[in-house]
Amino acid sequence: MANQVIRIGTRDSQLAVWQANTVKNLLQSKGVESELVFIKSEGDEDLITPLYQMGVQGIFTKSLDVALLNNRIDIAVHSMKDVPTQLASGIVQAAVLERASYKDVLVFKNSTDFLFDKNVDAIIATSSIRRKAQWLYHYANHKIENLRGNVNTRLKKLEDSNWNGAIFAKAGLERIELLPPNHVDLDWMLPAPAQGAVVVVCRESDHHLQSALLPLNHLPTAICTKAERDFLKTLQGGCTTPISALALIYNDQLILKGTVFSVDGKNKFEIELKKNISASETIGIDAANEILKMGGAEIIETIRDAKK
- Asked if residue 216 has pLDDT above 60, the reply is yes
Query: pLDDT (tens digit, 9 = 90+) per residue, 114-140?
Result: 999 888 899 999 989 999 999 999 999
Q: Which residues pair with 168 in a beta bridge?
A: 105
210 and 71 assigned to the same domain: yes
Tens of pLDDT along 154-179?
999 999 999 999 999 999 999 999 99
Shared domain for 17 and 91, answered yes or no, is: yes
pTM exceeding the 0.95 threshold for the entire prediction: no
User: Which is more confidently placed, 104 or 152?
Assistant: 104
d(CA 122, CA 108) in angstroms, rounded, equals 11
Q: Does a structural domain hold residue 76?
A: yes
* Same domain flag for 69 and 180: no
What mean pLDDT is predicted for residues 272-294?
96
Asked if the structure places residue 223 within a domain, the reply is no
CA nearest neighbour of 195 among 280, 78, 289, 283: 78
User: So what's the pLDDT on residue 28?
Assistant: 95
What number is the average pLDDT over the span 196-221? 96
Confirm whether 168 is domain-assigned: yes
In a domain, 118, yes or no: yes
**pLDDT band at residue 55 under the 50/70/90 scheme:** very low
CA distance 186 to 28: 36
**Given phi > 0 = left and psi -120 to 50 = alpha, else beta, which region is 169?**
beta
285 close to 230: Cβ distance less than 8 angstroms: yes
Residue 285 belongs to domain with CATH number: 3.30.160.40
Helix axes 14-29, 151-160, angle to 10 degrees: 150
51-55, 175-179, 215-219, 221-225: least confidently modelled range: 51-55
Phi first, then psi: give them for residue 166, nearest 5 degrees.
Answer: -145, 150
Residue 149: which pLDDT band, with cuts at 50, 70 and 90?
A: confident
pLDDT above 70 coverage of the chain, percent: 90
- Does residue 225 belong to any structural domain of this protein? no
Residue 94 sits in the same domain as residue 110: no
- Is residue 45 domain-shared with residue 110, that is, in the same domain? no
- In this structure, is residue 140 part of a structural domain? yes
Residues 86 and 153 reside in one and the same domain:
no
Q: What is the CATH number of the domain that holds 142?
A: 3.40.190.10
Higher pLDDT, 203 or 2: 203
Catalytic residues: 82
DSSP letter assigned to residue 56:
-
Q: Do 243 and 201 reside in the same domain of the chain? A: no
In the chain, the number of structural domains is 3
Q: How many CA atoms lie within 13 A of 90 on its CB side?
A: 10
Do 260 and 207 lie in one domain? The reply is no
Are 94 and 205 in the same domain? yes
Question: CB–CB of 123/143 below 8 Å?
Answer: yes
What single DSSP character describes residue 191? P
Average pLDDT, the chain: 91
- How far, in Å, CA of 120 to CA of 117, rounded? 6
Strands 104-108 and 165-169 come out as antiparallel
Q: Are residues 279 and 141 in the same domain?
A: no
What's residue 64's pLDDT? 94
Domain that residue 162 falls in: 104-185
Q: Are residues 114 and 177 in the same domain?
A: yes
Candidates 83, 47, 53; CA nearest to 65 is 83
DSSP of 211-277: HHHGGG--HHHHHHHHHHHHHHHHTT--TTS-EEEEEEEETTEEEEEEEEE-TTS--EEEEEEEEEG
More confident residue, 43 or 202: 202
DSSP H or E segment with residue 106: strand 104-108
51 within domain boundaries: yes
What pLDDT score was predicted for residue 47?
45
Same domain, 94 and 202: yes
Q: Is residue 192 part of a domain?
A: no
The yes-or-no verdict on residue 3 having pLDDT over 90 is no
Residue-level pLDDT at 138:
95
Rg (CA), the chain: 19
